[in-house]
Amino acid sequence: MKELPIRKPLRLKGYDYSSAGCYFITFCVKDGHELLGEIVGDDAHIVPPKVVYSEYGEITDQFIKNISATYADIVVDKYVIMPNHVHIMLVLKAGSGTMWASSPTKKTISTVVRSLKILTAKKCGFSFWQRSFHDHIIRDEAEYKRIWQYIDQNPANWENDPYHKPQEKSQ
């Protein structure tokens, strides 16, 4: 199921990524290495496929779960950590300015993703993230539901995932 095409990580020109709204973000491990975990489950889908995190996946999971505590105006609505990438839906509430800066600054999607990558790299002892990320501004409820389902079903569709490279699968 390749419903969501891979797009170059270009930001929408003129769009304020600190604006209230819902965003679908994907960020990847460098060179597609499957460092974050592996998909387990049987081929007949009697046991639904799921991701079993590696140490790096566990650390990534901890930092994702901490986003809403760190950024009061940002909610992690849904996410999945796949073996070599992360899909996450972030909701920015209105008024996402920081309190600790001498002048108000806005939190943006880029700030959140950059912080997550830096913190996980520090905790893991090395940087394994690819530069930048893919983003999509969720514009309506139908799109929201489609993306929610895509994230929810991503482990079961790993073999068809555009980020899955079976010939280069790590041993």
> What tens digit of pLDDT does each residue of 85-143 get?
999 999 988 754 443 333 334 567 888 999 999 999 999 999 999 998 998 989 899 99
> Dmax of the chain from CA atoms?
57
CA distances from 123 to 44, 88, 118 (A): 37, 20, 9
The predicted-structure confidence for 26-51, as pLDDT tens digits, reads as follows: 999 999 999 999 999 866 666 788 99
C-alpha count within 13 angstroms, C-beta hemisphere, residue 2: 9
Say if residue 159 is exposed, middle or buried (CB neighbours under 10 Å; 0-12, 13-18, 19+): exposed
Q: Is 14 left (phi over 0), alpha (psi -120 to 50) or beta?
A: left
Quote the pLDDT of residue 71. Answer: 87
Q: Is the pLDDT of residue 8 over 50?
A: no
Given pLDDT bands bounded at 50, 70 and 90, which one contains residue 72?
A: confident
Query: What gap in Å lies between CA 22 and CA 137, rounded to an integer?
Result: 6
Contact 106, 19 (CB under 8 A): no
CATH level 3 topology of 21-162: Alpha-Beta Plaits (3.30.70)
pLDDT at site 108: 79
pLDDT attached to residue 2: 38
Beta bridge partners of 27: 86
Section 53-73 average pLDDT: 94
Q: At what angle do helices 109-124 and 55-65 cross, to 10 degrees?
A: 140
